[in-house]
Amino acid sequence: MTRVVLVVGASSGIGRATAIRLARRRDHLVLVARAPRPLADAAAECVLAGAASVATHPVDVLDLAGLQEVVAATHATTGSIDAVVHSASVVAYGRFDQVPAAIWDRVLETNVLGAANVARAVLPDMRERNAGAIVLLGSVIGEIAVTGMSAYTVSKWALRSLGRCLQLDNRDRPGVRVCVVSLGSVDTPIYQQAANYLGHAGRPPPPVYSAEHVATRVVEVLDRPRKRVNIGAANPLMRLGFALTPGLFDVLVGPLFRAVATARRPMPTGDGNVLSPLPQAEAVGGGHGLGVRVVLTDLVARTLDKVRRRSRRGGRARGS
């Protein structure tokens, strides 16, 4: 059955991979993100993949009126929206006090208020028809806490909470389904696009899934909506450690985060794509691969760095 699907955050990563996956099923697609050029590129890929139709709308999720216009335009041209995949999100790395307030706040606004705006724009028609699915892409980080990503962590807890509230508030419309998908690491450009005040680039800790793999699972969720879906082999372990052994979790999370979730390579600080898009870096994949080889190579290099620094200090002490 051909559906009309709104993909928000469709110009990069999982949103773009999902749009292409849906296009192969001949769905009608409505693509939203801020930057027009990568959105047009994503649309061209969807046309090639066989989409029944593709419309693009460069709109910020913080612009509720803009989103409502997208929905109205879709009703006028293609018909009611059957499903929404909400994939728009931004990240800021840095200790809480290092991240400028304007960046911290915008991460929260984009990831939480943006999702609420999307729901506001599509729900009236879905409720009237008692039909439709909203898939919110969340993170395992929305169920635990990590160091150096406070705004993103708080936003993903809030997104999960928003999803649960939407499920409860729409119980009187059983045809309207809201799903929260908690993802582990996915190889997308989000890590390079993030605002960064750590001095080191972020990266996905293993196990890392491809955006295409996640897109296939997201399309399965659209076909068979469930309230909560987890994608990531390490997610249950992280959740268990956080809930059952919080003391040990707190001791380990900092060193582990530094070892597996940040690169050794230094990185200048900056706002990334939080306040405005960085279109040149938008693509389906982030070039991280499966992560294990990269993390191991990096760990060996970091250890060698430490040994070299120690032996230099030892040499200076002997010399003085």
Ligand X SMILES: NC(=O)c1ccc[n+]([C@@H]2O[C@H](COP(=O)([O-])OP(=O)(O)OC[C@H]3O[C@@H](n4cnc5c(N)ncnc54)[C@H](OP(=O)(O)O)[C@@H]3O)[C@@H](O)[C@H]2O)c1
The residues that touch ligand X, with contacts defined as CB under 6 A, are: 9-15, 33-35, 38, 60-62, 87-90, 110, 114, 137, 139, 183, 185-186, 188-190, 193, 204, 273, 277, 282
242-272: burial string, b at 16+ Cβ within 10 Å, e else: beeeeeebeeebeeebeebbbbeeebeeebb
Smallest gap from residue 286 Cβ to ligand X (A): 7
Asked whether the beta carbons of 122 and 6 are under 8 A apart, the reply is yes
DSSP character string of 240-309: HHHHH-HHHHHHHHHHHHHHHHEEEEE---B-TTSSS--GGG--S--S-TTSHHHHHHHHHHHHHHHHHH
Smallest gap from residue 1 Cβ to ligand X (A): 26
| C-beta closer to ligand X: residue 18 or 170 | 18
Smallest gap from residue 73 Cβ to ligand X (A): 16
Smallest gap from residue 310 Cβ to ligand X (A): 34
Residue nearest to ligand X according to CB distances in the complex: 13
Instruction: Read off the amino acid at residue 58.
Output: P
| C-beta closer to ligand X: residue 103 or 183 | 183
Smallest gap from residue 138 Cβ to ligand X (A): 7
Smallest gap from residue 169 Cβ to ligand X (A): 21
| C-beta closer to ligand X: residue 17 or 51 | 17
* Residues β-bridged to residue 183: 139, 231
Cα angle vertex 87, ends 194, 292, to 5°? 55
| C-beta closer to ligand X: residue 133 or 320 | 133
| C-beta closer to ligand X: residue 293 or 308 | 293
**132: Cβ–Cβ under 8 A, 6 or more apart, which residues?**
80, 81, 82, 83, 84, 122, 125, 126, 175, 176, 177
| C-beta closer to ligand X: residue 4 or 8 | 8
DSSP character string of 67-134: HHHHHHHHHHHT-S--EEEE-----EEB-GGGS-HHHHHHHHIIIIIHHHHHHHHHHHHHHHHT-EEE
| C-beta closer to ligand X: residue 61 or 176 | 61
Smallest gap from residue 89 Cβ to ligand X (A): 3
